[in-house]
Amino acid sequence: MVRAGLSPERLTLAGAELADEAGFDQVTLSALARRFDVKVASLYSHLKNSQELKTRIALLALEELADQVAHAVAGRAGKDALMAFANAYRDYARAHPGRYEAARFRLDPRTAAASAGVRHAQMTRAILRGYNLTEPDQTHAVRMLGSVFHGYANLEAAGGFSHTDVASQESWVWTLDSLDAALRNRATP
Amino acid sequence: MVRAGLSPERLTLAGAELADEAGFDQVTLSALARRFDVKVASLYSHLKNSQELKTRIALLALEELADQVAHAVAGRAGKDALMAFANAYRDYARAHPGRYEAARFRLDPRTAAASAGVRHAQMTRAILRGYNLTEPDQTHAVRMLGSVFHGYANLEAAGGFSHTDVASQESWVWTLDSLDAALRNRATP
DNA sequence: GCGTCTACCTAAATCCTGTAGGCAAATCGA
DNA sequence: TCGATTTGCCTACAGGATTTAGGTAGACGC
């Protein structure tokens, strides 16, 4: 009986790949067991339950996304930083739809507070420094940007933008231009 | 043996209520059968499978949402119409979280084309008439507005805006003000 | 080499989906 | 009103996912 060499990390990674290939809701312990050619019960030595698997995939996705955004934004400011941030976000959602979906998985508050989600909020605020907003406007802006990025990625993933011949890329740039203008408008002199 | 008086319509409505109470992913034929005190297999006389149930709930939600938006927007124009539209959208998402989630359920293209989703798109374009946008700007704007509304409702439902003491309502108004300004900025003279 | 730990196993309970076939209530035609 | 047909709900069953309990054999420390 050769051992498969499972671990929470390998299972999480395989789960993330499975999510990208088949959708986050197709990520089951059974599917994962098949992928490793192992019996389902064996996975319970490494993961408490399927909830933990999903949580781990979500945390992985948040981490990866935060890394990519951080890398994209580094050394940029103002509109340049805004565009880099938004593009990193959208690119990740397009390249890793399952992981992106996982990143939206509802975490319990304690887990969320310890996740890379915190870095996302910090980076968003960092972007906004270039726009000279005072509180509470900065908080409002964080929420607005989060909504647009998330909403756009979501609708695009759902195929909502594929029924006209206007390219999604153009709408995206147009949207970011509009947001930039709106934020500059809000700047305190 | 008293008959329960099931029908696709009653099942759909009960499913929608169940979604609001417990979440769309908790909507199962089993749960529905329990609610009607009926055996699961009996439901298959009225619904092809659980996919059809979910699709019907999604269509119901789209219909209801379109009705509410249409009612809210009637007789308004410009920013007034934009606010009414956006508020109707958000209010529905808050009052009926499960149905709202259902409205985002991925429909196959044929079903989607015959759904109230079409009315949503039309109404969004109607709102934008007040901003005097030419194509393709109008399409871009439709996408931007859809993203913001959807993204905001989604993040709010996920509890993403409950960690600071800045009221979500204020951010919402601020966001709508910003969008209005951005759209006015885009108007062709 | 021996004992312990642990990775993976079998077995089984529970729950959800879906199919096949049966009985009785509702309905309709004469 | 009575008989035939339709149909609403049933039992039975099969398949797949989750999860727990308990067993066996490989890996590893001494």
> How far is Cα A41 from Cα B109, in angstroms, rounded to an integer?
39
**Taking 90 as the threshold, does the pLDDT of residue A81 lie above it?**
yes
pLDDT at A49: 94
pLDDT at A45: 92
Residue B141: how many other CB atoms lie within 10 Å: 24
pLDDT at A78: 93
Specify the range with the lowest mean pLDDT, choosing from B13-17, B18-22, B156-160.
B156-160
B41 CB closer than 7 A to any strand D atom: yes
State what percent of residues in chain A have pLDDT above 90.
83
Residue B4 neighbours by CB under 8 Å, 6+ apart: B36, B37, B38, B42
Better pLDDT: A163 or A116? A116
Mean pLDDT score, A44-51: 94
SS3 (DSSP) at B83: helix
Q: Do B143 and A185 touch (CB under 8 A)?
A: no
Assembly ipTM: 0.89
CATH number among 1.10.357.10, 3.30.1200.10, 1.10.150.120, 3.40.50.300, domain A8-186: 1.10.357.10
> How far is Cα B158 from Cα A1, in angstroms, rounded to an integer?
45
Token pair, residue B86, equals 């956006």
A42 CB closer than 7 A to any strand D atom: no
Q: Do A178 and B182 touch (CB under 8 A)?
A: yes
Cβ pairs bridging A and B (under 8 Å): 110
Cis peptide, bond prior to residue A136, ω within 30 of zero: yes
Digit-coded pLDDT (tens) for A131-164: 999 989 999 999 999 999 999 999 998 887 877 7
Taking Cα atoms as reference points, which of B133, B148, B147, B142 lies closest to residue B178?
A: B148
pLDDT at A166: 84
Q: How far is CA B21 from the centre of its chain?
A: 16
Q: Do A182 and B186 touch (CB under 8 A)?
A: no
Mean pLDDT score, A122-139: 93
Between the CA of residue B165 and those of A95, A111, A123, B168, what are the distances in Å? 35, 20, 20, 9
Q: Which residues of A touch B104 (CB under 8 A)?
A: 154, 158
3-state helix, strand, coil in chain B (%, to 5): 70, 0, 30
Mean pLDDT score, B42-56: 95
Between the CA of residue A163 and those of A167, B104, B114, B146, B147, what are the distances in Å? 10, 16, 14, 14, 16
User: Do residues A30 and A40 touch, judged by C-beta distance below 8 A?
Assistant: yes
> How far is Cα A189 from Cα B17, in angstroms, rounded to an integer?
50
**Taking 80 as the threshold, does the pLDDT of residue A189 lie above it?**
no
Digit-coded pLDDT (tens) for A24-40: 999 999 999 999 999 99
From the CA of B41 to the C1' of D12: give the distance in Å.
Answer: 11
From the CA of B34 to the C1' of D2: give the distance in Å.
Answer: 38
Shortest distance, CA B3 to any CA of chain A (angstroms) = 36
pLDDT at A31: 95
Fold of the domain built from segment(s) B59-186? Tetracycline Repressor; domain 2 (1.10.357)
Better pLDDT: B31 or B159? B31
Q: Do B147 and A159 touch (CB under 8 A)?
A: no
pLDDT at B62: 96
From the CA of A2 to the C1' of C3: give the distance in Å.
Answer: 22
- Confidence band (pLDDT; 50, 70, 90) for A1? low
Digit-coded pLDDT (tens) for B117-150: 999 999 999 999 999 999 899 999 999 999 999 9
Q: If you search the block for the tokens 């498969």, which residue do you land on?
A: A4
pLDDT at B1: 61
User: Do residues B148 and A171 touch, judged by C-beta distance below 8 A?
Assistant: no
> How far is Cα A177 from Cα B162, in angstroms, rounded to an integer?
29
Mean pLDDT score, B54-61: 97
Query: What are the phi and psi torsion angles at A157 (to 5°)?
Result: -65, -35
pLDDT at B122: 93
Q: Across all residues in chain B, what is the average pLDDT?
A: 93
Between the CA of residue A126 and those of A76, A119, A131, A164, B151, what are the distances in Å? 11, 10, 10, 35, 21
pLDDT at B63: 96
Better pLDDT: A160 or B102? B102
**Taking 90 as the threshold, does the pLDDT of residue B160 lie above it?**
no
**Taking 90 as the threshold, does the pLDDT of residue A3 lie above it?**
no
B140 touches chain A (CB under 8 A): yes
Q: What is the dihedral of CA B130, B132, B134, B140, to 10 degrees?
A: -50
Q: If you search the block for the tokens 């399927």, which residue do you land on?
A: A50
C-beta within 7 A of nucleic chain C, residues 45-74 of A: 45-46
> How far is Cα B145 from Cα A51, in angstroms, rounded to an integer?
34
> How far is Cα A137 from Cα A151, in angstroms, rounded to an integer?
21
Q: Which positions of chain D lie under 7 Å from any protein Cβ? A: 7-13, 16-22, 25-27
